[in-house]
Amino acid sequence: MYTAQNSGQLEFFDNLFMPVPIKKEHPIIKMADSIDWDSLCDNLSKFYCNDNGRPTKSTRAKIGLLLLRHYEKISDEQVVDRLERDIYYQYLCGLNMHEAQDFIEPSSLTHFRNKIGMEGVKIIEEAVRAVVKKSIAKKGGPKNREITVDTTVTASPICYPTDVNLLNTCREKSVDAIKKAEKTGRIKKKARTRKRKGRKTFIEFHKFGRKSKQARKKTQKKLLGFAKRNLRQLQDHIEEMESSAEPLTAQEMKILKKLEETAERSAPILEQQAELLQGKKVKDRIVSFHNQNVRPMVRGKYPQTTEFGEKLLLVEYEGFLELADSSSDNVSDSKWLEPALDFVEEHYGFQVEGVGADRGFHGKVSKECCERHNVSRYGVQRKGRPPKNKPEPKPWEERLRRRRCGIEARISLAKRKYGLDRSGYRIEGGGEIWVRLGLCAMNLKRALMAS
């Protein structure tokens, strides 16, 4: 039976649009009530000047938006948009419904991350760790002093094919910087950048699905010529602006800094690409314009044998996953056990009694490390085939080996739900910042679900 519908438009002052009572058991409400915001904001205040400049937006709101961005696995634009219409987001950020409207621009979150850097993110991480410790204490304290360790790689935003895209990025960044410098009026003669020819060469290469080695090398050579030309023009503009008779304005100083940064990043890339075209082997090859510390890592795992990104040392304790260390180099797992033990002793304040890990951590270095730290239980499987007369494993040894499977599941969850599969930040140390904030969101959710 058809029911007649009310076609009238509801007004905002109707009862249907009045604020509804929030659910106190909601995870975001628990998150807001569990963090010591006053202490956290005071610790982050050192990154700002006390008596100069424009007043900043609420520090609590910016921290809350960063945590929600990783908690929900959404972008800066999406989290700012949701802040205007989600009362739970507003509660976490300490804003009312009126303050949340047009409160902040998405770019402000980028500036905030640049402002606090790695040191500030570690302060946020310490506040989250305090919540984790309370959660463990509520459950009666730690059941044992055993940890599980493992390594993984978080991919950086690398474009393929790497060489052609790198050269084109250098060319585009140089041309953009040149045009900005010329708009200041400090440059007497405009440069012929060959912008359209360089763009046409790049597009023609990408039109074809399969690229032969000869076509790739030909395109690399052309783009290298364009990029070198633009780099020389960039350096000439820098000299001309620095030798200007009149002092530069604040805006012109920013443009000059951008010119110098672009030239500094482009020069080693072009030098390496020239060596590659000559058939030389290049050590510490750069594969990313924005994050030049990233190196190819041969892991030999399916489906990708080589990965580009940060290698992470992760520690699992009482169901919580923490980042103990990270490196741009493919460090052997057997050399990374000591940083994991030092991390737990420093941040959780107890001496580790048992370690569970995969066979990558087995070796003489790991055993010596366990002896130095007085680790009595070392449940790491040996490399290679087991001996024929292998003795029966001890109960604690078998238990630690089984527990190692748990960290694999938590790493998989972190990659699927909290973005650890691919870094989204291009700032300095962006890969590690991305991972730390993602694990903060993951540990917060687990701690509050248990409470």
- What is the per-residue pLDDT across 320-378, written as a single tens digit (0 to 9) for each? 999 999 998 888 888 899 999 999 999 998 889 888 888 888 888 888 898 899 888 88
Digit-coded pLDDT (tens) for 130-160: 999 999 988 877 778 889 999 999 988 777 7
Asked if residue 268 is part of any domain, the answer here is: yes
Q: 153 and 96, same structural domain?
A: no
* Residue at 130 is within a domain: no
Distance CA 290, CA 310 (A): 14
- 304 and 264 in a single domain? The answer is no
Which residue, of 229, 246, 277, is where some domain finishes?
A: 277
For the domain that residue 148 is a member of, what is the CATH number? Answer: 3.30.420.10
Q: Which domain holds residue 54?
A: 19-117
Q: Which residues pair with 431 in a beta bridge?
A: none
- The verdict on residue 126 lying in a domain is no
Q: Do 272 and 336 have their domain in common?
A: no
Indicate if 385 and 308 belong to the same structural domain: yes
Number of domains in the chain: 3
Do the domain assignments include residue 9?
no
Same-domain check for residues 354 and 378:
yes
The overall average pLDDT reported for the chain is 88
User: Could you tell me if 337 and 363 lie in one domain?
Assistant: yes
Taking only the tens place, the pLDDT of each residue in 234-254 is 999 999 999 988 899 999 999
**One domain, residues 217 and 313:** no
- What percentage of the chain reaches a pLDDT higher than 90? 55
H or E element that contains 394: none
C-alpha to C-alpha distance for 171 and 112, rounded to whole angstroms = 29
295-298 and 306-317: which strand pairing? antiparallel
243 backbone dihedrals φ, ψ, rounded to 5°: -90, 10
Residue 63 lies in a domain: yes
Q: Give the residue-averaged pLDDT of 102-114.
A: 93
Contact 335, 303 (CB under 8 A): no
| Biggest CA pair distance of the chain | 85
Identify whether residues 378 and 317 lie together within a single domain: yes
CA–CA distance, 220 with 197 (Å, rounded to integer) = 14
Residue 219 has pLDDT above 90, yes or no: yes
CA dihedral 202, 207, 213, 216 (to 10 degrees): 0
What's the pLDDT band for 161 if we cut at 50, 70, 90? low
User: Quick check: is 410 in a domain?
Assistant: yes
Report residue 396's pLDDT band, with 50, 70 and 90 as the boundaries: confident
**CA atoms of 154 and 158, how far apart (whole Å):** 12
pLDDT bucket at 52, cuts 50 / 70 / 90: confident
Listed ranges 11-15, 49-53, 207-211, 439-443; the one with the highest mean pLDDT: 439-443
Q: What is the pLDDT of residue 307?
A: 83
Checking if the pLDDT of 18 tops 80, the result is no
User: Is 3 inside any structural domain?
Assistant: no
Q: What is the model's pLDDT at position 310?
A: 87
Both 398 and 444 in a single domain? yes
Q: Which helix (H) or strand (E) holds 177?
A: helix 162-183
Would you mind telling me the total number of residues written for the chain in this entry? 451
Task: Name the residue among 447, 449, 415 with its Cα closest to residue 434.
Answer: 415
